[in-house]
Structure 1
């Protein structure tokens, strides 16, 4: 098993240095926990999870060889496989069946990954945004330890990887605004409005980050998790505009909007990151479609952000899991989730 119950309850880092957000110091008390619990008990949803198979386009070594272009492949939730300049980069690899401290309980996957870790090509760099279980998967890290050349994390998150057996020389830990160059690849850890913790007593003892990923011809932004904050404009001023922004759009609720953006905020973040050139950039919503982590219907984030993008003249792409996206010329994608609902269900949902 990839997790120890004892470590979850016993890990005590209460004396460790605590990281803080730049805009809002997020705190949650008993009343917040009670309100959230009450909402989970009383909210009725039509579609908390898919009832038919989620479409997945398998990825194989042969399909990866079809093109030499810079490409993105969404594998699930916030896990993205990227090819830049012929090298492969893997973002927040989560391949376990549950986004949970244990594999016998917790949010279960709606679909399988389009490619297994064993089938992955050699990975130049694995990039981690923060230590939450739906972004940092111990089992995946241990399987990737020999397949990946570099592991790049926010400050202190890399300590987990080393503890799990990754060679320390492979691990780079960055603070906000620090950069790392690997060949032609430039990685920059940029701020995010979030929090961290894998146990009961290690809150905010590791850093969280968004990432700028820049190759020879492509400039990408990966939000990780976070609420909307003024930092998006500064990131855009320093590193933008971006060809594609991969921005969290899912697991949101007004009760925790300080740490997870509502869809209209995800759209605004994309605009902030690209300034006046936002119409020439593409937004790919992530953090949705794989796990049930909130109170909205499973497909709502995809529908909501697609509608907002159309209204604001922002190009939003929603590829099927495993579908290749060419960075230089991303094609228009289909609303594949609509095909999973009957006409009666769709009419009822739209009312």
Structure 2
């Protein structure tokens, strides 16, 4: 569960007077037969692009038929938690047909891999990718099958945020600025470095870094406040909701509300330390969150507008968080009988919410209002 809130009696009375609770949404299957899908992006005419972790990108037609894998992807190191992961379309996709995707990039020679971000143009016939360009490669490369992070957000100013995991065995790297492990990075769409990044010009620091002290960020979205919001996996507890700010340190692995696998404290067992940020919310035990979307439209009623939705891989439900500014004031567990790991959550241009389930025979789902 997350942090427990103590409610005074009068809000409960107001809730009782407000009438019956809104009915839970209904699940509609849009597409079947997707192998461990990881991200969905919307293009045109009701069509969608879906990444599959084994290294395939598919076009799903408006009637829900997944097409053949698109050609043109770079080399991808698929295995464990790695493969073809997040995907977003450019804000001006209707004009430039540009998309951005991140994936586990193998070393050019020898062993090792890391998270990479690339841009590409979707061909006019949507059969392949053109003009593929690697914008960023996480350094250093390291031989690991875990903690790639790999969520992409286009900011209001057109820059790109990319989340990067600590690669599991290299968790101490999350506290140093000479590497990209356990960081959120920010770049221009051509791969260049924004001059207002917080560590530009600091000796020994990677200029792409936006924030540090992260573990494995698998959810990211631009909030109604225009700011970046993220969530990340903790170690056997201590999953976190954060709003990463420029140059700030989010503590991993020095502070955490989780513990080592098998028990025992992480490091000194601290949950707070001066100079390190507290999460906006945390879940102990872990729910293993993935995917993240703010509800902006009115399809689901005013009560849902502004809510934050995320999937639980561990408990196989959809979680809705009601917010008051940056405070979480209520959690609602939805789709508890779905029985599938929810990997991605997106709001489509039609105002409906879409989910991907991380299974051998994964599904693309649409939520219909209750």
Give the helix-richer structure, 1 or 2: 1
Relative to the length of structure 1, the TM-score reads: 0.32
Give the strand-richer structure, 1 or 2: 2
Which structure has the larger Rg?
2
Relative to the length of structure 2, the TM-score reads: 0.31
